[in-house]
Amino acid sequence: MATLLRRLAMPGCSSRRCLGVFLREMHSRTSPLNPRDGPRLLAGGSLPLTAYSSTHSRWQHTKAADPPEVELHRLEGEDNGIVEVLMCRHKARNALGYVFVSQMRGLVSSLSEDSAVRVVIFRSLVPGVFCAGADLKERARMNDAMSDSFVHMLRTLMTQIASLPMPTIAAMDGAALGGGLEMALACDLRTAAHSAQMGLIETTRGLLPGAGGSQRLPRTVGMTLAKELIYTGKRVGGQKALEMGLVNRSVEQNETGDAAHREALGLAREILPQAPIAVRLAKEAMDRGIQVDITSAMKIEKMCYALVIPTKDRKEGMDAFIEKRPPRYTGQ
């Protein structure tokens, strides 16, 4: 770290260049690659040739005619800039199977490069459930090597979601269990209906959270409470989740079963008018800064702040304040 900071202080290291150097360095420190996985993975780093090629080739042929399990919905009009990721694996309560995870990874990857997207909402179209967690029927057909590789694929998906540059919101109108809660934890913000049940229940199945839950839950609710929830496999409702800081907002469920989604949409509409570059850089500063010591974190904040200074949006924000009018941000 000391060597890196000396490099950042060198003459000629511009803010943008320095931030890139710093973030690449921190990414390499916090996301190490396992050398033994290299020759076993296909492009994308998740699908081992030996473990999956024959089995999932058959699944792809049988599933080809089936409806999508994950879809994108881009809102229009005044909500332009809000995109919803719709989970619609009705037959399996949005369980995290191979097809579901593959489709989700593809959609999330496309969102990461889309500068027009300002907020992403993850929601379920399956009544009474956000995501039921692992597809245990599918998992039962895997040997140890296949199971290990699939968990790596799940972990990669959660990292992709957490790494999206724009704010993300999980709208939990129903159960979010195991990997389902890990997906919600990978989002920046969470809304829940009072009736929604949430929990990392892996220890009740002889496992432990393997897609980021054991790391993101302590960072969200604190170590002591996270240990209690994981050790016991306890499930909590929306109101309790709000009390412990697991969700940002909890609301009474409505007759149409989409109260958490409506709350998430309201939250997205609060974010939408803000300067998109500033919001993205604020997310970068917080997400990266929390992983390092405070001195390094302050340097990250400083460089993110420097990047927003020359933007047209910053000037527009100042002009709008002086002229006493709402700002009109363009993302430039």
Catalytic positions, please?
134, 179, 182, 202
DSSP labels for 23-89? HHHHHHHHS---GGGGGGB-TTS--BHHHHHHHHHHHHHHHTTSPPSEEEEE--GGGTTEEEEEE--
Pairing of strands 249-251, 198-199: unpaired
Give the residues across from 121 on adjacent strands: 84, 169
The structure tokens 């780093």 sit at 45
User: Comparing C-alpha atoms, which of 10, 297, 298 is closest to residue 18?
Assistant: 10
Give the residues across from 74 on adjacent strands: 83
Q: Where are the alpha helices (DSSP H) in 187-325?
A: 213-221, 223-232, 238-243, 259-271, 276-289, 294-308, 312-323
Residue type, 323: E
How long a stretch of residues is the chain? 332
User: Comparing C-alpha atoms, which of 83, 87, 92 is closest to residue 69?
Assistant: 87
Q: Which residues, 6+ apart, have CB-to-CB distance to 199 below 8 Å?
A: 177, 178, 181, 229, 233, 234, 235, 236
